[in-house]
Every structure is written in C-alpha cells, then in structure tokens.
Structure 1
Amino acid sequence: MEFSDKELNIFNEMMKVVKRYPDFKKYELRMESSLQIPGLEIYPDRRKIYRDRMEIRLTAKEFDILCLLAANCGRVLTYTQIYQEVWGDYVQDIENNTIGYHICNLKEKLFAASPCSAFHIRCVRNVGYCFETTMEE
C-alpha cells in the first residue's frame, strides 16, 4: 500500500500523536477464540460453556479444569500438572481428593447437560485424568 504525499504527512502526524501518549489504547476487532468439541462449545475469553446453545454453569475451578483437559484431549494429565495449572501452586504432596472433588462435580454437570455426550473424562488411577472424545472429529 502506498500513500500520496498528503496522506503520508497525515499518517506521520497521527503517529507522532500516538507516540506522544504511550498509554494510548489501541482497539482492534478480532475473532473470539473457541474450543469446539463434539457436543460442547467452550469460550475461554468469556469463560462460558454451551451444549446445544444452552449454557452449562460451572465454578471457576471446574471451568479451568475442563479447559485444561479439553485443550489436551487424549492426553493423560497428572494430578500435579492439573494442580499446578489450575491452582497455580507447586505442592509436593498434593491432595488428589481436591482435584477428584472438582472433577466429580464437573462430570455431574456435564452429564446433566448431555447424558449421551460424545466425550468423557476418564480417571487414570493414581495418575490423573484424560478428556476423550468418542467420535472422530
């Protein structure tokens, strides 16, 4: 793209103003990111989850756990990995029951919203959890 001399002068003047005020906010339109899983739509920026256009209400920790597991679909995440990502702490002797409690509540809410879903959260005993889909995407 080329500017005429007049346009270039205007552009340079605008850039001087922007540089003079470093706290000047830029506004831009961008597409909202979402994570699409068969039967679920996850919108991390809005912290919302939908099943067939119906919102599934989750606590903050349940939402964070679901996003983490769904983003790593098919991978087994250890208790330590989940705890560090969701709670932001490093603990040597994490309480697996804490994670299990939140996963149990999350699974109940997901099942209530969609009893015949194409995904599930699988427990890998003494290791962690894995989010899996039962359909090919």
Structure 2
Amino acid sequence: MEVFRKYTDFPKYEVDYTPTISFPDLEIYPDQRKVYCGKQEISLTAKQFNLLYYLVANEGRVLTYEQIYQNVWGNYVQDIENNTIGSHVCKLREKLYKACPDRQFEIRCVREVGYCFEAK
C-alpha cells in the first residue's frame, strides 16, 4: 500500500535582489555581476568586479588599504596589500577608462591611505 504525503512544508528561499547602481556613464548590476560603461559591457575578473563594487558602494569615502583588502580579499597581510590593491586598481582603471574616455567618475588614489570612488 502506497502512502501519499502532501508536502506543504518546503523551505522557502527568497532571493535578495541588490538594486542596480547607476552613475553617469556607469551601471553596475550586482546580481548579474555585469558592468556597463555607456552601453558597452566591461569584462572584469571576479576580483576587479568585487573591488569596483566595494569602492562604488562607498562612493565619496576614502577606503584604507586595510579596509579594501579585508573586504575584497577577506584577510589582511601587512605590507603586501598596497601592491596587490594598486595592481588591481590599475587594471580596473585601464578597462573602465578605455571604455569610457569621457567618464563622469574616477577612482582616486589617496597617497599612503587608500582609494576613493568619486562621481563628478
């Protein structure tokens, strides 16, 4: 004899949709991990995307090397992070600035402190 069960207690999973982040000339779709400059999609590595997203989410704030390293890489190594972050920022800037030469934003270096994303 088969017993049929009525399954009504399935766990419910809700997807947390992060809204699109928009600036003049720049749109970031966190759920899709896509970045557009104008209508052109910018191909970013996972670290570059995470770095850009963290900087943009804190627009106008100077983020220290330590903050960036901990939030993007997940840990902190003294005296190594500046070169690592600088290298990633350099490549990120190259991609963004090439795709959007007349951009309305910049990733500004604050010497010996960190970086800041600023919309103009």
The bucket for the TM-score relative to the shorter chain is 0.7 to 0.9
So what's the TM-score if we normalise by structure 1?
Answer: 0.76
Mapping for residues 40-55 of structure 1, pairs under 5 Å: 40-55=26-41
Count residues with an aligned counterpart.
Answer: 115
Q: Is the contact between residue 39 and residue 52 of structure 1 (CA under 8 Å) also seen in structure 2?
A: yes
So what's the TM-score if we normalise by structure 2?
Answer: 0.86
- Counterpart amino acid of residue 126 in structure 1: E
Unaligned runs of 5+ in 1: 1-15
Report the identity percentage. 58
Find the residue that maps to 1:84 and give its secondary structure: helix
**Equivalent residue, structure 1, for 2:50:** 64
Mapping for residues 51-130 of structure 1, pairs under 5 Å: 51-130=37-116
Q: Which has the larger radius of gyration?
A: 1
C-alpha displacement at 1:89, in angstroms? 0.9
Cα RMSD, aligned residues only = 2.0
Runs of 4+ in 1 over 6 A off after TM superposition: none
Determine which structure has greater relative contact order: mean sequence separation of CA pairs < 8 Å that are 6+ residues apart, divided by chain length: 2
Unaligned runs of 5+ in 2: 1-5
